[in-house]
C-alpha cells in the first residue's frame, strides 16, 4: 500500500472512532437546510459576505501602497471598488487604481482565485450607486470600464472553467446585464405583469433590490412604452404611473421618478389628441413641480428628442393645471351648494390666456381636511393667500390676463372686478408678487374703489341677455383675447329662442320668476336651458326665479 493511501486510511479511522458531533441535529430538516445554504453561499452562490470594516482597511492599504499585499486583501479590494467614502471617492474614480486591480486579478495563476476576484468585482458592479445625486463623472467612467472588463473576463473564464458554479451559469443566461441595455430582455414580460425572469436573475446573482438593476428595469419599461403607438401608449399609461409611484413592488428614487415622469409627459404631448389625464397631471406637478412656478426645473428635465426644453409638454400640463384649478374654485370654493356651473364654463374658455392665478382662501377652505380640499391646496401650492376679513365660506380667485387682473369671489352677491395690473392697490400687488410660500390679502383690498370695470352676474331681465354675453361684450375688447365660441350651456337667450314659437314672461322685477313656454317647443334646447339654471315644470314651461 502506498504512503498516500495509508495516510487516508489512518485519518478515516481516527475520525470514525470519535463520537459523532451534533448527531441530534442530523434529522432536523431546518438545520440541514441552513447548512446547505451556508455551503451554497460559501462555495456556489453569488453573494460574498465580508465585514465592511475589513474591506475599508484593505482599500486604505491599497490606496496607500498602489497594490494588494495578499490574495485576501485583493479580494476585499475587489468587493470595495465601488464603495464610496464621505467625499464621494471610490477606487473606480481613479484610473490608475482600478486598472491595477484588474492587472492583479489577471495575474492570478489559480483559476479558482481568479474566479473569486471576478465574483467580487461583479458584486461591486451591481452595487455601484448609479443613481446617487452628484455622482462624479470619473466614477461613472470607471464603472463602465469595469463593465467592459467583466464582459471580457466572463468569456475567458467560461472557456477555462471545468466546474462551473451556479451563479456563473446564471450570468451566462443573463449576460445582457453586462451591456449598456441591461434590462431590455425583461421588458416584454414586465409589461405583461410577469417579473419572474427578472426576479430569477436577481436571486441567482445575489443582486440586492436596492441595486441600480431595479431602476434600469423600471426605466426600460418607460422607454419601451415611449415607442408604442398612441393608443397602446395611453392604454399602458396607468400601469406605468403605478410603477413610477412605487406602487408596483419596486422602490423608485426621486431622480428616477423625475426621469420617468418627464419621459411620459413628453411622449403624451406628442399624441395626436391630448385630453387631460388627471393621473399624469398630478404626477407631473408632484414630481417635477408646477410648470409655471418651476419653469427652470421643467425645462431642465422635460426635453424633446433634440434635448431642448419641451415647450409643448410644458404648455400642455400648464393648461391642464389651469383648467383644473378653475374647476376647483367654482366647484369647491363657491358658496353655492352644487358649485357654480355657469361661471365655471365661462372662465374655462379663458384658461389659455391666463398668465398666472392666485387663490385667497377664507377660514373654511384654509382648514378643511377632507381629501378634495387637501388635493386642491397641493395643486395650488405657491399661489395660495389667506383672505382676511372674509366670512367663513367666501374665497377669491385672482387671474392675471395680460395687463389686467380679473377677480371673482366664491360667495353669492359679490360682483366681478377687473383691475389693471399696473394700477393694483399696493397691498394687493405686494401679496401677489411677494414670492412667499403663503401670504395674505384683505377682502376689502380686492374690491377697491378705483377699478376698470365692475359687474354683477345677473341676467338682463327685459332684453333676455345673459350675464355671460354682457361680460363678453365688455371683457373681450379690454383683454384683447378671442376665446373659443361660448358653449351652448351659456348662450344668449335671445339667440337661443330665435325662430321658436314661444312666449316669454318675466316677473322677476316684481319678485316673481322668468317663464318661457310652452315646454314642447323647447325640447331641442332643454339641456341649454337647464345649464342656465332654469327648471322644467311639465305643461307649464321653463322657470327661473
| pTM of the model as a whole | 0.70
Mean pLDDT (whole number) for 4-18 = 70
pLDDT of residue 42: 46
pLDDT at 39 over 80: no
* pLDDT on residue 9: 78
Q: What pLDDT is recorded for position 403?
A: 96
Name residue, grid cell 327661473: 544
309 CB burial (10 A radius; 0-12, 13-18, 19+): middle
CB atoms within 10 A of CB 86: 5
CA atoms of 228 and 221, how far apart (whole Å): 11
CA–CA separation, 93 vs 88, rounded Å? 9
Residue 131's φ and ψ, nearest 5 degrees, are -95, 10
Indicate if the pLDDT at residue 31 is higher than 80.
no
C-alpha 361/C-alpha 333 separation (Å) is 8
| pLDDT value at residue 484 | 73
pLDDT in tens, 289-326: 888 888 888 999 999 988 999 999 999 999 999 988 99
**How many CB atoms lie under 10 A from the CB of residue 451?**
17
- pLDDT at residue 83 tops 90: yes
- The pLDDT assigned to 16 comes to 64
Query: Pick the residue with more confidence: 423 or 43?
Result: 423
pLDDT digits (tens, 9 = 90+) for 383-433: 999 999 988 789 999 999 999 999 999 887 889 999 999 999 999 999 999
223-228: long-range pairs with CB below 8 Å, 24+: 223/263, 224/184, 224/187, 224/191, 225/191, 225/264, 225/267, 226/263, 226/264, 226/267
pLDDT in tens, 343-395: 888 898 899 999 999 999 999 899 888 898 998 998 888 899 999 998 878 99
List Cα–Cα distances, 472 to 33, 355, 421, 460, in angstroms: 80, 19, 20, 14
The kind and range of the H/E element at 75 are helix 71-79
Amino acid at each position: 500500500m502506498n504512503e498516500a493511501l495509508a495516510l487516508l486510511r489512518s485519518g478515516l479511522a481516527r475520525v470514525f472512532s470519535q463520537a459523532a458531533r451534533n448527531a441530534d441535529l442530523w434529522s432536523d430538516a431546518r438545520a440541514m437546510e441552513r447548512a446547505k445554504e451556508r455551503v451554497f453561499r460559501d462555495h456556489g452562490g453569488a453573494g460574498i459576505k465580508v465585514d465592511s470594516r475589513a474591506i475599508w482597511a484593505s482599500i486604505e492599504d491599497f490606496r496607500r501602497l498602489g497594490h494588494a499585499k495578499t490574495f485576501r486583501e485583493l479580494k476585499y479590494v475587489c468587493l470595495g471598488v465601488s464603495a464610496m467614502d464621505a467625499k464621494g471617492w471610490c477606487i473606480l474614480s481613479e484610473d490608475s487604481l482600478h486598472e491595477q486591480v484588474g492587472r492583479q486579478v489577471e495575474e492570478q495563476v489559480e483559476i479558482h482565485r481568479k474566479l473569486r476576484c471576478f465574483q467580487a468585482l461583479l458584486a461591486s458592479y451591481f452595487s455601484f450607486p448609479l443613481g446617487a445625486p452628484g455622482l462624479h463623472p470619473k466614477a461613472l467612467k470607471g464603472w463602465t470600464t469595469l463593465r467592459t472588463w467583466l464582459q471580457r473576463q466572463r468569456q475567458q473564464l467560461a472557456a477555462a472553467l471545468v466546474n462551473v458554479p451556479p451563479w456563473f451559469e446564471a450570468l451566462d443566461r443573463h449576460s445582457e446585464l453586462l451591456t449598456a441595455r441591461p434590462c431590455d430582455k425583461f421588458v416584454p414580460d414586465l409589461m405583461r405583469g410577469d417579473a419572474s425572469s427578472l426576479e430569477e436573475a436577481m436571486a441567482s446573482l445575489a443582486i440586492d433590490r436596492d441595486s441600480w438593476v431595479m431602476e434600469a428595469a423600471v426605466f426600460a419599461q418607460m422607454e419601451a412604452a415611449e415607442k408604442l403607438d398612441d393608443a397602446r401608449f395611453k392604454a399602458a399609461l396607468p400601469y406605468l404611473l403605478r410603477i413610477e409611484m412605487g406602487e408596483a413592488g419596486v422602490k423608485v428614487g426621486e431622480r428616477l421618478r423625475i426621469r420617468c415622469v418627464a419621459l411620459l409627459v413628453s411622449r403624451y404631448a406628442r399624441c395626436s389628441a391630448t385630453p387631460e389625464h388627471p393621473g399624469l397631471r398630478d404626477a407631473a406637478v408632484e414630481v417635477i413641480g408646477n410648470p409655471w412656478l418651476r419653469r427652470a426645473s421643467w425645462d431642465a428635465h422635460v426635453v424633446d428628442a433634440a434635448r431642448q426644453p419641451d415647450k409643448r409638454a410644458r404648455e400642455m400640463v400648464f393648461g391642464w393645471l389651469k383648467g383644473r384649478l378653475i374647476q376647483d374654485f367654482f366647484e369647491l370654493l363657491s358658496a353655492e351648494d352644487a358649485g357654480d356651473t355657469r361661471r365655471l364654463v365661462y372662465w374655462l374658455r379663458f384658461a389659455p390666456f391666463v398668465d398666472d392665478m392666485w387663490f385667497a382662501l377664507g377660514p373654511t377652505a384654509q382648514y378643511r381636511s377632507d381629501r378634495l380640499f387637501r388635493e386642491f391646496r397641493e395643486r395650488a401650492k405657491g399661489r395660495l393667500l389667506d383672505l382676511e376679513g372674509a366670512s367663513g365660506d367666501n374665497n377669491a380667485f385672482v387671474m392675471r390676463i395680460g395687463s389686467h387682473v380679473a377677480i371673482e369671489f366664491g360667495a353669492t352677491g359679490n360682483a366681478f372686478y377687473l383691475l389693471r395690473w399696473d394700477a393694483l392697490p399696493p397691498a394687493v400687488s405686494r401679496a401677489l408678487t411677494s414670492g412667499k410660500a403663503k401670504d395674505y390679502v384683505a377682502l376689502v383690498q380686492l374690491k377697491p374703489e378705483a377699478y376698470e370695470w365692475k359687474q354683477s352676474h345677473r341676467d338682463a331681465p327685459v332684453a333676455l341677455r345673459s350675464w355671460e354675453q354682457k361680460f363678453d361684450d365688455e371683457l373681450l375688447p379690454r383683454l384683447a383675447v378671442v376665446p373659443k365660441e361660448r358653449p351652448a350651456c351659456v348662450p344668449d337667450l335671445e339667440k337661443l329662442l330665435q325662430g321658436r314659437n314661444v312666449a316669454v314672461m318675466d316677473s322677476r322685477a316684481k319678485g316673481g320668476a322668468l317663464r318661457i313656454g310652452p315646454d314642447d317647443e323647447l325640447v331641442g334646447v332643454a339641456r341649454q336651458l337647464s345649464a342656465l339654471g332654469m327648471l322644467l315644470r311639465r305643461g307649464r314651461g321653463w322657470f327661473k326665479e
